[in-house]
Structure formats: structure tokens, C-alpha cells
Copies of this chain bind each other. A is one copy, B any other.
């Protein structure tokens, strides 16, 4: 039995016309209204007769985009003036070293919690700059949980966390108790729920999951933590440069920032991060319930650490994997194949993912189990 209300699982439409349900892990789904407005800005920005792609970053129009983007980040996450909000380039991968370069004195110590591939990369880059102590890890169980009950040394410069682990489908649903400021990679769950910004010294996030297209990185940094390292930092790698020049020391990635601004407006219109959290919890619940109910599937992440953004699951009969992926494909569900580190499947259901698309996926799973029973 397959409920077709929201899906396109009928096979009557040509592939070209079929509505797609985009479960890519990133670059990932953005709201349809954002994409429409973005396409329009490429053709004719604000009826200026020019494309947003060809306007000077010093023009009033682009300066206004930069200002509104910053202001929306501050409003949605409750970021006060003690923090700078920056739009940089180079992805979270560049923040792995920039965080340590700017915040870890050569004779200091940084603590890291290792919750998967991205944490591991962050650790590797930080080790080039000072002492790095990995105080907890879930590597023993292929990162299927978030480590708990570890102690954070009070003399650490910062504690690095990866709030959501895209590959392993785990999330910090709580934060460690410590006075040490967090440095946090929020690439895959920023704006998906409220956070208490005052606990964080630095938040960084590649845009291409919950915020915008690839090509811009959001950085939120507590200004009083800067300027304490003695090393010589190239101008472009010093957060202070970008604070002083309001993210326009050099030409910023205008279009990715513009699309991010449109997404932030959409989040605000939908009720902000509280509304997002409610919606995300409910969407994820729908999928986890099907995984737990369906005898053919099992989740990979520890239940209390399950991500609302990336839902990882396996088939109990792995020989059916290709067949299941074909069923997904036939219904317009794309990007469901799991990362090679975990295998199986991963459904990335970021803010912009309609509840209905999640429902279509659960229906495919139910139908598949029935057929294969």
C-alpha cells in the first residue's frame, strides 16, 4: 500500500517532469521561494537592469545585502555586540585551521571531542598550532553516539565540538558543563534550533546545508577572545581583518551571501529557529518511527543522540540495497545513498525539506517492506 497524496511514486510521469525530493547531504535543499528569488536576482536584481552577479561589492545594493544578512543572523540566533558575525570563504575546512591559528596560543592547549570525520579533520589541522587534547571520542563504535561524562580541563583555551555529525547521523542534544568556551562546527545544523550563544566562543558553518549555496562560510566569534596569540597570521586568515572591514576586506562571495540572506528571511517568516526546531523534530520523528517500526530497517545512531538533520539507517537485508535505492529513485527521492563510512542510507532533512517529502520516503520504505516480506 502506498499513499500517494504527496508523492510522485506513480510512475506515470516522465523522469524529466517528476517532482524531486532532495535528500542530498550538501549542497542541499533550499526553500523553493528562495530559489525563485535567487534566479530572478541573477536575471535582474531589484529591477536595476543588472544581474546581482555583475554589481560592485561596494555598491549600495550589495552593502545592504551584507548588512541585512548580518542583522538576520543576529536576530535569529540572539547574537549580541560582543560577537562579530562574518561571511568568509573556504568552508568549514578552512575554519579547522583558522580557529586554532586565531585562538590557540603556541603554548596553550585546546580540547577536542572526536565525534567523526569532520572532528578528526579539525583535530589534525589544530595540531599544527599548539597542544591538542582529544578528551573524548566515539570512534570505538564507529561514531554512532556522542561521548558523555568527560571532564574539560579548566585551563583549555577552548573546547571544540561538532554539533551535528552529517556522516554518522548524531547530534549534541545537550552541551557539556564547563566554563571553557566552545568552538563549534555547526555546518549541518545551524539555524535548525535555538542555541545559547553565550556558551560559544566561535561558531562556524559552511552554508551549503541549512543556509545557502556552497561558497560562503558563516563565522560568529566572541571578539574578546581574539588578539591573544603571538604568531604571525596572514591578513586574510585573521578574523580581526574581516571584523574591521565588515567581511569586505576583499570581494566577498556576493551571490552565495545573497542566497543565504534570502534563506534567513525565510526562516524568520516561518517563525524563527524555535519554529524550525519544532518542525525538524517532528519531521525527524516521522522518519525514525518508520525505521523503528519497519522490520526491514534499523537506525545506526544511538537513539538519544539521533540527528534531526541527517537520518542514517541500514537495511537488515543488505542484498536489497540497490533495489531500495531504485525504488527511491523511481519516486523522485534522490541523495539517499549513505556515506561509505556508514553504508546503507542517509536522508538529509534540513530546514527546507518539506514534511511531505519525508512522508514520501517513509511510504517508500513501508511499501518496500511489504513487497519484500
Contacts and interface: CB of A to CB of B under 8 A. Distances in A.
Interface of A: 16-20, 22, 24-30, 35-36, 38-40, 42-43, 47-51, 53-57, 59, 89-94, 96-97, 101, 121, 124-125, 128, 206, 208, 212-216, 232, 234-237, 249-256, 259, 332, 334-335
A35 B30 contact: no
Given A214-B252, A253-B256, 6 more contacts: A20-B49, A24-B55, A39-B51, A94-B250, A97-B237, A125-B235
Given A27-B254, A50-B20, A236-B97, A56 B335 contact: yes
Nearest to A62: B27
A215 B57 CA distance: 12
B93 A250 contact: yes
Nearest to A56: B24
Contacts of A216: 215
A125 to B, nearest CB: 6
Residue in A26, A49, A232, A237 whose Cβ sees the most chain B Cβ within 10 Å = A49
Nearest to A25: B56
Nearest to A95: B236
A351 to B, nearest CB: 12
Contact of A42 (B35, B94, B96): B35
A249 B214 CA distance: 13
B89 A215 contact: yes
Counted per complex, copies of this chain come to 2
Residue in A17, A59, A96, A255 whose Cβ sees the most chain B Cβ within 10 Å = A255
Contact of A251 (B42, B208, B232, B332): B208
B53 A235 contact: no
21 contacts: A16-B49, A24-B59, A26-B251, A27-B254, A30-B54, A35-B54, A39-B40, A53-B212, A89-B89, A89-B91, A90-B94, A90-B250, A96-B236, A97-B237, A125-B235, A128-B234, A206-B250, A208-B251, A215-B253, A215-B255, A255-B256
Nearest to A38: B42
Contacts of A125: 234-236
A316 B302 CA distance: 75
A251 B205 CA distance: 12
Residue in A16, A53, A206 whose Cβ sees the most chain B Cβ within 10 Å = A53
